[in-house]
Structure formats: structure tokens, C-alpha cells
């Protein structure tokens, strides 16, 4: 049935609305939450602002009395220089320790890291920005010259990957500098956690959609996994102080409860999750111009994998897993293919017997695939998007199949 509906929508695509940007976390919005919750949220906002001010002041102090060093451009795509799959002995090598030294040098005073950086590069020089610069047209992915963007983030594996790598090197070549940076980085994650268990994409808070609870690109899921590893105090994490491990365990559990609470209910049926949820209300929100409010299959599949890894899942978690996987099965698309980049750009075309595929986004009310363009328009036909957006975003994929396969094994073991 979904394949038939999809074919009809491709033939008769329409613009069904425009994307509404997410709201930042502000005092005015906090004033509208229940009175008993306001103090915690106000404290959070004040702490965030104080940490950003301290980060900026530290950089300004370093630059005082001299010219700022040239800031390197971001490595927007490619190797991040932090492999996590090498033999244990490699992490004691000079090469690995150089990467760890780079990581330590770029840690912000607040304890986080920027993104899209190859950590094989030289260590940070005094006065150099904590985050790399993106000057390409339409940029802003990381800090611009004179700007302050993504200076501390969990986006694109940032901070969580640095922490994992430091733990590996610390286990193979123990050093106080690595231990201290790791502990500070876990403190950063604990500070960044919202009172309701969620995490913003950027911390200290940057505003806009960056303040939303961010499942996009598996940001929250990776934080949960790092905190869970810290809580065990085993293997690479045996050096973690017991008190910090206990705090990490509590933070992890709060986030897992938040994940279950944010699963979208449509027509009294649990479904999946959105890329972003509002920091205060946990309601679905949009992000970039082409990322509307919608159920997101990639993020939902990743969260389901995370929940299935729970050693003793509660009834609520089991129900969330059962419902989420059932939803993924319902919205799978068959008999169509997502083509490569030809002269006319990527397109969705009929192909009998193909599939299953999943659209990146599904409308919450209708469960039809939807697609966003740069001008914030929301479409029902991916082929009607601008060529730049069709080619530049993963509108269809097969990723959820892995979660469904894992579910079959998980269910058989219960």
C-alpha cells in the first residue's frame, strides 16, 4: 500500500507547507514551564552563559598583546584521525599519542571539542581558536573568523569520539594530561545535560535549532553510549573515579527515560522519533531549512538499537522497541530505487521488486514521505526538490534494515 501511495505522490507531488524554525532556550520560555521546574532550567541557562563567557575570555586572554595565529580550515569530510578499531598496542604509539596531544590542546575551557577536524594535525597554538573555520559559501558549519559557532558540540561525533580516543590512549600509555582531559570532558557532558535528560547539539548554548534535543546524526545516542562505558569503570575506563562513574550512570539513565518519553504517538499508536525535539516541551521541531518537523527513520533506527542494548529493559522500553520496529516495517518503501547522481541529479524512480527503502522523513499525521528544500518549502515528491538538495542529502536509505534484523534476534532471546 505504501508503495502505491508513494507512486501516486511522485506523480502528483505538492508543496504542503513551510518549515518553522525551532525556538532557542530563553528566560521567557522558561517562565512558561511549571513553577517547580523553573529554577533548574534557569540555573542551566545561567551556567551555559557563564561557561561561554569563560571560553571567550580565555581565548581573548591568550590573544592579548599579539596577533591571533592563523586558524586552520575545517576538514568537512574525510578521516577525523581518531581510529577506534586499532590493536591495543597501537594506542601506545607515538602516532596515537600525537593525536591525543592534539585532542588535549583543542579542548575548550568548558571541556568540549569542535567538530569536523582531523586530529592528526599539529597541536593548537596559543591564541588559536578552539574550533576550525569554515569559510566556504553557505558555511557556518564551524566557527567563522571572528565568530563563535560549534565551539563545543556533540554533532558529527564530536566530543564523544575525542573522549573514546583519549580513553584508549590512556589505557595503553597512561598520562595525567589524558586522564585530566577525559575527566573534564565527561564533566562537560554532565553540564550539558538538560534537566529533563536531553542534550543540545551545541554547548554552551548557541541558540536556534542548536538548542533542541538532538537525535540527528545519532548525537544523543553516542553520548548515552559513552556515559554507559564510563559507568562500568571497566577496560579503557577502569581509571575513572567512582564518583564520576556514578554521576555518568545517573545521567545516562535520565537520558534513556527521556528517549522513551519522546517517542511520537500518532493516532494513539507509538511510532518513531524526530531528528530534534524542543528542549523544554520535547515536542518535535525542525532544524535547518530543509529539515522539517517529521518522523526520522535513521535516527529512530539508531535509538531502537540503543534501547535493544539495555541489559534489563523495563516494560516501557520493551513497548517502545516493539512499537518502533513495527512502525519501521509499516513505512518501508518497495518497488522504487534512489538513483545515483546523473545529469539531472538524484531521483526516485520505479523499479519493480526493489526495496525495502526508507524515506528520511515521514509526515507525522499522514505517514507519507516528505522532503525539505533550501527555501523551507516542504514537498511530497523528492524529484521536485532543487538539484542541489536532491544531491546533497540522504533522502532515502536502507539503514533501518539493520535495526529490524537486530530486533528479530533481540525478540528471539527474550
Instruction: Give catalytic residues, as residue numbers.
Output: 156, 288
Contacts within 8 Å (CB) and 24+ apart, 138-147: 141/74, 141/76, 141/115, 141/116, 142/74, 142/114, 142/115, 142/116, 143/71, 143/114, 145/71
Q: Which residues contact 121 (CB under 8 A, 6 or more apart)?
A: 72, 81, 102
Please choose, from the candidates 77, 54, 23, the residue with its C-alpha nearest in 3D space to the C-alpha of residue 212.
23
CB count in 10 Å sphere of residue 10: 19
Q: Look up residue 391 and give its three cell numbers.
A: 544531491
What is d(CA 169, CA 173) in angstroms, rounded to the nearest whole number?
6
Q: Say which DSSP state 212 is in.
A: S
Among 246, 168, 167, 189, CA closest to 51: 189
The pair phi, psi for residue 368, each rounded to 5°, is: -90, 145
Apex 291 CA angle, 288 and 292, nearest 5 = 115
Burial of 70 (0-12, 13-18, 19+ CB in 10 A): exposed
3 state SS of 305? helix
Query: What are the angstrom distances between the C-alpha of 89 and each of 51, 180, 252?
Result: 37, 22, 30
Strand partners, 379: 15, 371
Q: Are 335 and 352 in contact (CB under 8 A)?
A: yes
C-alpha dihedral sign at 205, 209, 210, 216: positive
Amino acid at each position: 500500500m505504501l508503495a502505491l501511495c508513494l507512486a501516486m505522490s511522485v506523480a502528483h507531488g505538492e508543496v504542503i507547507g513551510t518549515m518553522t524554525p525551532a525556538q532557542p532556550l530563553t528566560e521567557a520560555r522558561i517562565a512558561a514551564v511549571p513553577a517547580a521546574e523553573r529554577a533548574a532550567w534557569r540555573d542551566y541557562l545561567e551556567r551555559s552563559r557563564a561557561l561561554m563567557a569563560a571560553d571567550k575570555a580565555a581565548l581573548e586572554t591568550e590573544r592579548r598583546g599579539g596577533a591571533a595565529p592563523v586558524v586552520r580550515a575545517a576538514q568537512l569530510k574525510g578521516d577525523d584521525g581518531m581510529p577506534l578499531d586499532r590493536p591495543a598496542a597501537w594506542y601506545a604509539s607515538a602516532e596515537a599519542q600525537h593525536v591525543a596531544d592534539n585532542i588535549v590542546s583543542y579542548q575548550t575551557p568548558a571541556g568540549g571539542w569542535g567538530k569536523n577536524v582531523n586530529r592528526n594535525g599539529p597541536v593548537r597554538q596559543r591564541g588559536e581558536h578552539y574550533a576550525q573555520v569554515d569559510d566556504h559559501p553557505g558555511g557556518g558549519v564551524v566557527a567563522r573568523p571572528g565568530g563563535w559557532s560549534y565551539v563545543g558540540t556533540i554533532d558529527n561525533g564530536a566530543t564523544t569520539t575525542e573522549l573514546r580516543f583519549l580513553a584508549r590512549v590512556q589505557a595503553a600509555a597512561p598520562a595525567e594530561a589524558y586522564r585530566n582531559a577525559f575527566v573534564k570532558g565527561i564533566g562537560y557532558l554532565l553540564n550539558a545535560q538538560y534537566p529533563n535528560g536531553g542534550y543540545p547539539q551545541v554547548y554552551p548554548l548557541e541558540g536556534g535549532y542548536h538548542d533542541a534535543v538532538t537525535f540527528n546524526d545519532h548525537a544523543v545516542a553516542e553520548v548515552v553510549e559513552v556515559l554507559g562505558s564510563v559507568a562500568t569503570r571497566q577496560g579503557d575506563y577502569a581509571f575513572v573515579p567512582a564518583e564520576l562513574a556514578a554521576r555518568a550512570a545517573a545521567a545516562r539513565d535520565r537520558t534513556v527515560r527521556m528517549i522513551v518519553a519522546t517517542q511520537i504517538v500518532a493516532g494513539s499508536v507509538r511510532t518513531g522519533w524526530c531528528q530534534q525535539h524542543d528542549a523544554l516541551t520535547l515536542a518535535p521541531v525542525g532544524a535547518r531549512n530543509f529539515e522539517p518537523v517529521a518522523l526520522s527513520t535513521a535516527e529512530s533506527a539508531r535509538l531502537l538499537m540503543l534501547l535493544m542494548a539495555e541489559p534489563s529493559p523495563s516494560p516501557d522500553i520493551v513497548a517502545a522497541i516493539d512499537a518502533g520496529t513495527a512502525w519501521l516495517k509499516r513505512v518501508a518503501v518497495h518497488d522504487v530505487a534512489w538513483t545515483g547522481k546523473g545529469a539531472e541529479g538524484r531521483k526516485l524512480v520505479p523499479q519493480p521488486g526493489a526495496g525495502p527503502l526508507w524515506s528520511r522523513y515521514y509526515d507525522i499525521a499522514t505517514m507519507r514521505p516528505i522532503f525539505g528544500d533550501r527555501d523551507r518549502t516542504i514537498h511530497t515528491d523528492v524529484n521536485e526538490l532543487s538539484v542541489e538538495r536532491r544531491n546533497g542529502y540522504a533522502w532515502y536509505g536502507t539503514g533501518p534494515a539493520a535495526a529490524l534484523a537486530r530486533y528479530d534476534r533481540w525478540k528471539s532471546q527474550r
